[in-house]
Structures are given as structure tokens and as C-alpha cells.
């Protein structure tokens, strides 16, 4: 019995995009673990904790994405080799400077945000409000994390845009 009011043919593109997001998140998760373990230097405490916060969040999202695919009545991808094949996020050496690690994570955020937009586009076409809601919250959280990481890369003398937007 189907508990969903959606047709399989409209859900298949959503599931494909969710599986791609799942693959991206798995590689991102492992990259964060590697950076967490290998961070050195004066920013060790800040970034060691930040990377742990980010990989803990990624682990939760991995589970939620897989469970969303199951809710849609499909099996999520679950082989690491498949994740590595389709992920747009690629493995890198963890032997990087703190600034390069953060730049790498910010680049991964761009990839994840792009994939989340792909998911929501397909989910909107399928009238899949559950997926749209789930991924919308992810987008908001990742944009905020990206802003904070980007701010960390700046010099204290740098400023935001020097004009105010008036209402």
C-alpha cells in the first residue's frame, strides 16, 4: 500500500538527486574527519572543534537523507565505491594548512549547496514537500556555516560591502 500521494515516475529523479547528495555528504564527512585528525598550528583548538561539529552534523544529515530515500520507498546507495564514483566532492590529502583546509571545506559547501538546489528542483516538480522542507533547512544551515568559515578566512581589517541597502 502506498502512503505517498506521489507517482513513482516523478519520484525517481528526486531519489537520483538525493543519492548524489548522499554520496557527496559521505566524502565530505570523511574529509572533515581527516582534517579534524590532522589539523596543526595556532588555530588547532578552533578548527579541531569546528571540524568535529561539522562532521557530527554531516553524519546526522547522511542518516536523514538515507531515511528520506527509504520514506520515498527506494533503497539508498550504500557502497563507498559508489559514493566515490558519483560524488562531485573529491578526496584530498589532509596534509594542508589550516587556511587551505577551510578553503577546501568552503569549496565543498558550494558543491553541496548546488546539489541541494538540484534536489529541491526535482522535489518541487514531484510535489514532494517533505524533501523540499528537509533540504531547505539544510541549505539555510550550510549557508550560515559557510558565512562563518568565510569570515574566519578574512583579515580583521577587511569589511563587508561599504553601502547600506535601504528599505
Residue 23 lies in a domain: yes
Residue 28 lies in a domain: yes
Helices (H), 39-86: 44-71, 80-86
* Distances from the Cα of 102 to the Cα of 54, 57, 128, 137, angstroms: 12, 16, 34, 22
Range of the domain at 80: 8-151
Residue 20 lies in a domain: yes
pLDDT score of 1: 41
Residue 103 lies in a domain: yes
Residue 124: name the closest of 135, 113, 139 by CA.
Answer: 135
Residue 44 lies in a domain: yes
Residues 6 or more apart whose CB falls under 8 angstroms from that of 59 comprise 29
Neighbours of 29 (CB within 10 A): 20
**Residue 12's CATH number:** 1.20.1260.10
Neighbours of 36 (CB within 10 A): 19
Residue 156 lies in a domain: no
Domain count, the chain: 1
- Per-residue pLDDT of the chain (167 residues), as tens digits, is 467 777 888 999 999 999 999 999 999 999 999 999 999 999 999 999 999 999 999 999 999 999 999 999 999 999 999 999 999 999 999 999 999 999 999 999 999 999 999 999 999 999 999 999 999 999 999 999 999 999 999 988 777 777 778 88
Residue 116 lies in a domain: yes
Residue 66 lies in a domain: yes
Amino acid at each position: 500500500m502506498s502512503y505517498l500521494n506521489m507517482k513513482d515516475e516523478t519520484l525517481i529523479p528526486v531519489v537520483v538527486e538525493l543519492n548524489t547528495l548522499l554520496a557527496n555528504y559521505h566524502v565530505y564527512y570523511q574529509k572533515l574527519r581527516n582534517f579534524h585528525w590532522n589539523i596543526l598550528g595556532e588555530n588547532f583548538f578552533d578548527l579541531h572543534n569546528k571540524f568535529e561539529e561539522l562532521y557530527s552534523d554531516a553524519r546526522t544529515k547522511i542518516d536523514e537523507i538515507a531515511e528520506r530515500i527509504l520514506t520515498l520507498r527506494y533503497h539508498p546507495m550504500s557502497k563507498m565505491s559508489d559514493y566515490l564514483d558519483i560524488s562531485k566532492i573529491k578526496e584530498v590529502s589532509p596534509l594542508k594548512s589550516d587556511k587551505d583546509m577551510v578553503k577546501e571545506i568552503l569549496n565543498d559547501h558550494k558543491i553541496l549547496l548546488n546539489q541541494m538546489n538540484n534536489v529541491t528542483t526535482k522535489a518541487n516538480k514531484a510535489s514532494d514537500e517533505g524533501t523540499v522542507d528537509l533540504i531547505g533547512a539544510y541549505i539555510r544551515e550550510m549557508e550560515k556555516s559557510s558565512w562563518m568559515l568565510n569570515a574566519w578566512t578574512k583579515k580583521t581589517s577587511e569589511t563587508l560591502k561599504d553601502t547600506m541597502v535601504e528599505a
